[in-house]
């Protein structure tokens, strides 16, 4: 291992793959492993893996001996363009995802697109939905790159990852603690999370976000936030990449609306959506009448 060649003596801890590992039990395994490896306040943890590994290792590092440094080496497209950036770490409780966590940014994020060669196609596509999202939020050039189709995307992975990372970095630098525009990153996620829940996680996160982006673009048209044609434009790019754009017909509309209400912040009368105005621009809009979302 090259870390050894330059004089480090890394100790490796592996965890079972998947969201079901994102628990306090795994955090304890990490803390214990850190102790056994003799990590002290001057040590650094390297998270090599997808978003699950990053969230867990980052959280364990943020709490071990009141916080030690960590480095993030994301190995999925989603973790490169999204999870590794912004300093959110944490784990799930049986009651819900990401309920416990901290803000503890890594000292370094090292994204190497070559890592993605072994990533299963479905995981790659799921991450690509977030790339398209970043294009819609703030980078028309990135959106047009995605519009060229999956072969073009694969041939231009390095610039694509770099541009998609740049969108999130700019937003979190301006609003690190989600007081305002960081919520723009929720584009597609208000409907998307509801679809994930209503489908009992049969839909992957990226698939649900893709469908959610199109539904929210339609909402933007209905509210005259976007000009007619916006949702077709987004749907065209997503479906050319192989992502779904329509709500599966077997998902009851009522369950989706219920899930959106569940997701809503307590005491809020309205749900705040990040809606596209045009490619490269979003606006935060409060919506009270959820029938407008799924007429
Ligand atoms: N902290 C944040 O700001 C933030 C933002 C978005 C998402 N997340 C979190 O990220 C998680 C999702 O991340 P993810 O999509 O990377 O999923 P993941 O970490 O579960 O990885 C997906 C699958 O791909 C495998 N894998 C990873 N890299 C691979 C590679 N190079 N080759 C082959 N297989 C590989 C993993 O073992 C896993 O089975 C969720 O828990 C989500 O809550 C966090
Ligand atoms: Zn997402």
Quick one: which atom of ligand 1 is closest to the CA of 22?
41
pLDDT at 224 over 70: yes
50 lines ligand 1 (CB under 6 A): yes
Phi, psi (rounded to 5 degrees) for 37: -80, -5
pLDDT at 264 over 80: no
Which of the pair, 262 or 83, is modelled with greater confidence? 83
22 lines ligand 1 (CB under 6 A): yes
pLDDT-based confidence at 87, cuts 50/70/90? very high
Ligand whose nearest atom lies closest to the CA of 185? 2
Contact (CB, 8 A) for 37 and 11: yes
CA dist 284 and 187 (Å) reads 9
Q: Which of 17, 51, 57, 134 to mutate to test the pocket of ligand 1 (most atoms within 8 A of CB)?
A: 51
52 lines ligand 1 (CB under 6 A): yes
Give the model's pLDDT for residue 24.
98
Query: 264 CA distance to ligand 1 centroid (A)?
Result: 25
CA dist 62 and 70 (Å) reads 8
Q: Encoding tokens for residue 41?
A: 């306040």
Q: Encoding tokens for residue 185?
A: 């990153």
Give residues with Cβ within 8 angstroms of 12, minimum separation 6. none
Give the model's pLDDT for residue 53.
98
Give the model's pLDDT for residue 266.
60
What is the mean pLDDT of the segment spanning 4-10? Answer: 88
Query: 8 CA distance to ligand 2 centroid (A)?
Result: 35
Quick one: which atom of ligand 1 is closest to the CA of 77?
16
Give the model's pLDDT for residue 153.
97
Model pTM?
Answer: 0.95
3-state secondary structure the chain: CHHHHCCCCCCCCCCCCCHHHCCHHHHHHHHHHHHHCCCCCCCEEEEEECHHHHHHHHHHHHHHHHCCEEEEEECCHHHHHHHCCCCEEEEEECCEEEEEEEECCCCEECCCHHHHHHCCHHHHHHHHHHHHHHHHHHCHHHHHHHHCCHHHHHHCHHHHHHHHHHHHHHHHHHCCCCCCHHHHHHCCHHHHHHHHHHCCCCCCHHHHHHHHHHHHHHHHHHCCCCCCCHHHHHHHHHHHHCCCCCCCCCCCHHHHHHHHHHHCCCCCCCEEEEEEEECCEEEEEEECCHHHCCC
pLDDT at 1 over 70: no
Contact (CB, 8 A) for 134 and 164: yes
Ligand whose nearest atom lies closest to the CA of 129? 2
Ligand 1, atom 44: closest residue by C-alpha:
83
Ligand 1, atom 37: closest residue by C-alpha:
17
Give the model's pLDDT for residue 4.
86
pLDDT at 268 over 80: no
Give the model's pLDDT for residue 148.
97
Query: 91 CA distance to ligand 1 centroid (A)?
Result: 13
What is the maximal distance between C-alpha atoms in the chain?
A: 62
Contact (CB, 8 A) for 73 and 48: yes
pLDDT at 267 over 80: no
Give the model's pLDDT for residue 222.
97
pLDDT-based confidence at 50, cuts 50/70/90? very high
Give the model's pLDDT for residue 263.
73
Ligand whose nearest atom lies closest to the CA of 49? 1
Query: 274 CA distance to ligand 1 centroid (A)?
Result: 24
14 lines ligand 1 (CB under 6 A): no
123 lines ligand 1 (CB under 6 A): yes
């Amino acid at each position: 291992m090259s870390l050894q060649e330059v004089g480090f003596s890394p100790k490796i801890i592996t965890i079972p793959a998947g969201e079901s590992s994102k628990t306090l039990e795994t955090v304890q395994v990490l803390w214990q492993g850190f102790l056994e490896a003799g990590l002290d306040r001057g040590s650094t943890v390297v998270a090599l893996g997808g978003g699950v590994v990053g969230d867990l290792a980052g959280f364990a590092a943020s709490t071990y001996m009141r916080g030690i440094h960590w480095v993030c080496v994301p190995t999925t497209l989603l973790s490169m363009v999204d999870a590794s950036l912004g300093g959110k770490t944490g784990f799930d409780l049986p009651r819900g995802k990401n309920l416990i966590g901290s803000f503890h940014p890594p000292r370094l994020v090292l994204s190497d697109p070559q890592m993605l060669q072994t990533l299963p196609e479905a995981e790659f596509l799921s991450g690509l939905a977030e790339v398209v999202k970043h294009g819609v939020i703030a980078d028309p050039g990135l959106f047009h790159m995605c519009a060229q189709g999956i072969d073009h995307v694969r041939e231009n992975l390095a610039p694509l990852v770099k541009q998609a990372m740049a969108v999130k970095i700019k937003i979190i630098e301006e609003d690190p603690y989600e007081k305002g525009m960081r919520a723009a990153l929720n584009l597609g996620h208000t409907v998307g999370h509801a679809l994930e829940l209503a489908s009992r996680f049969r839909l992957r996160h990226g698939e649900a976000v893709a469908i959610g982006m199109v539904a929210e673009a339609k909402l933007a048209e209905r509210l005259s936030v976007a000009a007619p044609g916006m949702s077709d434009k987004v749907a065209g790019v997503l479906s050319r990449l192989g992502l779904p754009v329509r709500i599966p017909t077997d998902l009851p509309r009522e369950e989706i609306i219920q899930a959106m209400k569940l997701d809503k912040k307590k005491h809020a009368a309205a749900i705040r959506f990040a809606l596209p105005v045009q490619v490269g621009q979003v606006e935060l809009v409060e919506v009270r009448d959820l029938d407008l979302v799924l007429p």
